[in-house]
Chain A
Amino acid sequence: MTPRAVTSRVPRIALLGNPNTGKSTLYNRLCGLRTKTANFPGSTTEHQVGRCAIGPGADAEIIDLPGIYSLVLEIPESRLCRDCLEGKIGDGRPDAALVVLDANNLPRHLQFAASALRRGIPTVVAINMIDTAKRRGLSLDEHAASMELGVPVVAVSARSGEGIDRLREALAGVTAPDAARPLPRLPLPDTEIGSSAAVRWAAEVFGTIASHPRTDDEDGRTLRDRLDDAFTHPVAGILVFAVAMVCLFAAIYWLAQFPMDAVDGTFAWLASGVEAIVPPGVLQDLLVHGVVGGVAATVVFLPQIVLLFFLLSLLEDSGYLARAAFAVDRVMRRVGLPGQAFMPLLSAHACALPAIMSTRLIPNPRDRLATILVCPFMSCSARVPVYVLLISLLFVGEPLLAGLAFTGCYALGAIAALGTAKILRVTTLRGPSTPMVLELPEYRLPSVRTAVGVAIERGLLFLRSAGSVILSIAIVMWWLSAYPKAEADPRSESLRQQAAAHSATDPSRAEGLEGEATRLDARRQQAESFAGRLGSAFEPIFAPIGLDRQLTVAVLTSFLAREVFTTTVFVLAGAGDDARVDQPSTLDALKHSQRDDGTPVFTTATAASLLVFYVLAMQCLPTLVVVARETGSWRWPLAQLAYMSLLAYFAAWLTFRCLA
């Protein structure tokens, strides 16, 4: 490397710290929106990298490493931090480290700083949350701290911005080309965090650099004690959690509908724009139904994902989530999952994608994998249109039974998830779970700035990880359904002529005839397209659960996304792809739709069998992509797809046999 290359390269700074030190808040404060998710070269491990201004026209790259309690623990997060500091992953050793400590907990955090300093990298220590510590009586001597640790020490409040400018200057100092000087020999403890020597050293340093704050180690019960009691209580804790979750999901459903409608509207506008510009033909078809349709199918989930992570970040930052994990831990343990799994499983009722991404909160890899594998069983919002359609066909004019069936679908999904978790934990993923030991942070007002940062990060990650693959497969699925182009059904031609004849005298009859002609053409296209031929080929497989060729096509085309099923059956029934389940005419058309042999497409047994199938089947390509991303291989999502499909098929077959 030439000297010029060395001097012109943006310095890389590793951001290290314990969980609950406000590390993410500091990262967001330093980098703002100039952040992206990246992989270490040669690894599937993701981390955040942001650009931080450290002087006029000078930037540094901040590598946001996971929050860890120790660099020597044999857990993936600690290993990642070690490897990064030692230059085993990424582009060599970082130029500097920024170690974040909690001012309210300095004696313990000083031990962490010592273990990081022993790595021999130029370091700046940021003592965060100095504002709250000052309010509790802490008085910190930054100069003394710098002398004791041998590196620049800056007291900051990432939340209020106090000390951030001085922190940028300190970072510029340690990363300047002429700043490469050896660290002074410090009397750092040789032993690891928690040892008597380390504790003694930290106590001595703390005594030198700070005055003791008031402690809240009173004998009486504090408000924090009372809240902890309530939130972790076996009954009250669960009740509070249930209320919190109902509010959370109600807020997501309510708030997400507006941006989701906007996304829908935007893509519909885009599609009509393309139709207006591009002449009818293959290219228009590809752009409208393949590209725009495929992107819309992905982006429509984005509002729910962003909102979920925004609200979860607020809850986590408030300190409540750690307590809630204990409240549900005793329930989850019975099926071999930790308390932290409850939140992903619950959020999977909105959408499995953010739920799977949020399993990163689960520290034990086996627990995390088991949770990822069972999340898609939970009835997500994309299943709802399918449930509504099939239950409406099953229970016409019986709202009570329909309501019970709806509840039953959710219960069946949850039972399948918990049962599968239990099976996984006694077979493939056998092994002890790590007991859930959690630091219970202080209660505080959550930071909206941090929550926005988290929501943006997760939203971009979702778009990047799922978007490209989904778009490719959407185009393939469109092509399979659209080609080869079938000739118009001979009967549709005469129906259209009749419609034209009646258009002036009897418009409603003309509309009916036109609809019937469209249905016949759609059926012919479905039958003769590659997807239709696949349907015919697969019909013998799906016949035992009551499906004919048309429903087989509907199931196959909904592999991309299960909600496609409703659109496909509407088209088959001639209701049009803008039909809605709550329209009586649509339901009527579906009830009277016939198979090739003239028998009804939907019988009670068929509708019930399909309902059970859709409760249990995977039928969601984005989920498979995200599972592959999160587990680092396609082995698990493929096994998950096979297991869920087989279970769904068997349960549907059983249902069909009982009701046929």
Chain B
Amino acid sequence: MADGTQVRIPLSQLARGQRAVVECAALDALPIDHKCLLAAMGLGESCQVRVCRPGSPCIVQVDQTRLGLPRSLADKIFVTPLDGGT
């Protein structure tokens, strides 16, 4: 970012191939059971994700795990983009 601040955007707004880091408080907006399930599936705080397919379902890769999420859920997960997508 030009001004040095990092922009937090919903996961659903990332482009195909774009990488981002899930923020620590990014999952706080979710009900606790959704948050725990996502974390147990690998989508936890500070993890790095890559978008394989934007839209619904939003398919992301976390390490070697590929997860499909409905767009409604991806809208509520805030991430900090690391690079541009394709």
User: Which residues of A come within 8 Å of B, CB atoms?
Assistant: 69-70, 72-75, 104-105, 107-108, 112, 192-196, 199, 215-217, 219, 221, 224-225, 228-229, 232, 322-323, 326, 329-330, 434-442
Contact = CB atoms under 8 A, between A and B. Distances in A.
A326 B72 contact: no
B39 A194 contact: yes
13 contacts: A104-B64, A192-B39, A193-B40, A199-B47, A216-B64, A224-B66, A436-B57, A436-B70, A437-B37, A437-B70, A440-B67, A440-B68, A442-B66
A217 to B, nearest CB: 6
A613 B37 CA distance: 44
A116 to B, nearest CB: 13
A436 B46 CA distance: 22
A401 to B, nearest CB: 41
B34 A434 contact: yes
Contacts of B47: 194, 199
Contacts of B44: 193-196, 199
B53 interface: yes
Interface in B34-78: 34, 36-47, 50, 52-53, 56-57, 59, 61-70, 72-73
Given A195-B45, A228-B53, A437-B69, A73 B40 contact: yes
B52 A225 contact: yes
Contact of A232 (B59, B61, B73): B59
B67 A435 contact: no
B65 A229 contact: no
B40 to A, nearest CB: 4
The 7 closest A-B pairs by CB, nearest first: A194-B39, A194-B44, A70-B40, A69-B40, A326-B57, A440-B66, A435-B73
A536 B52 CA distance: 66
> Secondary structure of the B side of the interface?
mixed
A108 B66 CA distance: 12
Contacts of A193: 39-40, 44
A219 B50 CA distance: 9
Contacts of B46: 196, 199
B45 A196 contact: yes
A234 to B, nearest CB: 8
B17, B33, B64: which has the most chain A beta carbons within 10 Å?
B64
Given A108-B63, A219-B17, A440-B68, 14 more contacts: A69-B41, A105-B65, A193-B44, A194-B39, A196-B44, A196-B46, A199-B46, A221-B16, A232-B57, A322-B68, A326-B68, A329-B70, A436-B57, A437-B67
Contacts of A225: 52-53
B41 A107 contact: no
Interface of B: 16-17, 24, 33-34, 36-47, 50, 52-53, 56-57, 59, 61-70, 72-73, 86
A440 B24 CA distance: 24
Nearest to B86: A219
Max count, chain A CB within 10 A of own CB: residue among B37, B38, B45, B69: B37
B59 A440 contact: yes
A438 B43 CA distance: 12
A146 B59 CA distance: 35
A217 B62 CA distance: 9
A442 B41 CA distance: 15
A439 B67 contact: yes
Contacts of A72: 36
B33 A73 contact: yes
B66 to A, nearest CB: 4
A217 B83 CA distance: 14
B52 A105 contact: no
Contact of B33 (A74, A104, A323, A436): A74
A217 B61 contact: yes
Given A194-B40, A196-B45, A219-B86, A439 B33 contact: no
B7 to A, nearest CB: 21
Contacts of B64: 104-105, 108, 215-216
Nearest to B72: A435
A360 to B, nearest CB: 18
Contacts of A439: 41, 65-68
A229 B56 CA distance: 10
Contacts of B70: 329, 435-437
A439 B70 CA distance: 12
B61 to A, nearest CB: 6
A603 to B, nearest CB: 51
A547 B86 CA distance: 67
A228 B59 contact: yes
A437 B68 contact: yes
B39 A195 contact: yes
Contacts of B68: 232, 322-323, 326, 436-440
A221 B73 CA distance: 24
Contacts of B69: 435, 437
A219 B83 CA distance: 11
Nearest to B48: A217
Given A232-B57, A437-B73, A440-B59, A217 B50 contact: yes
A74 B33 CA distance: 7
A215 B62 CA distance: 11
Contacts of B57: 232, 326, 329, 436
B52 A228 contact: yes
Nearest to B35: A194
Given A199-B44, A329-B57, A70 B36 contact: yes
Contacts of B33: 73-75, 434
A438 B36 CA distance: 14
A74 B32 CA distance: 10
Contacts of B24: 196
Nearest to B52: A225
A642 to B, nearest CB: 33
A192 B43 CA distance: 13
Nearest to B33: A74
A435 B12 CA distance: 15
A107 B42 CA distance: 9
A107 B38 CA distance: 15
Nearest to A73: B36
Nearest to B41: A69
A365 B73 CA distance: 20
B31 to A, nearest CB: 8
Contacts of A75: 33, 37
A16 to B, nearest CB: 13
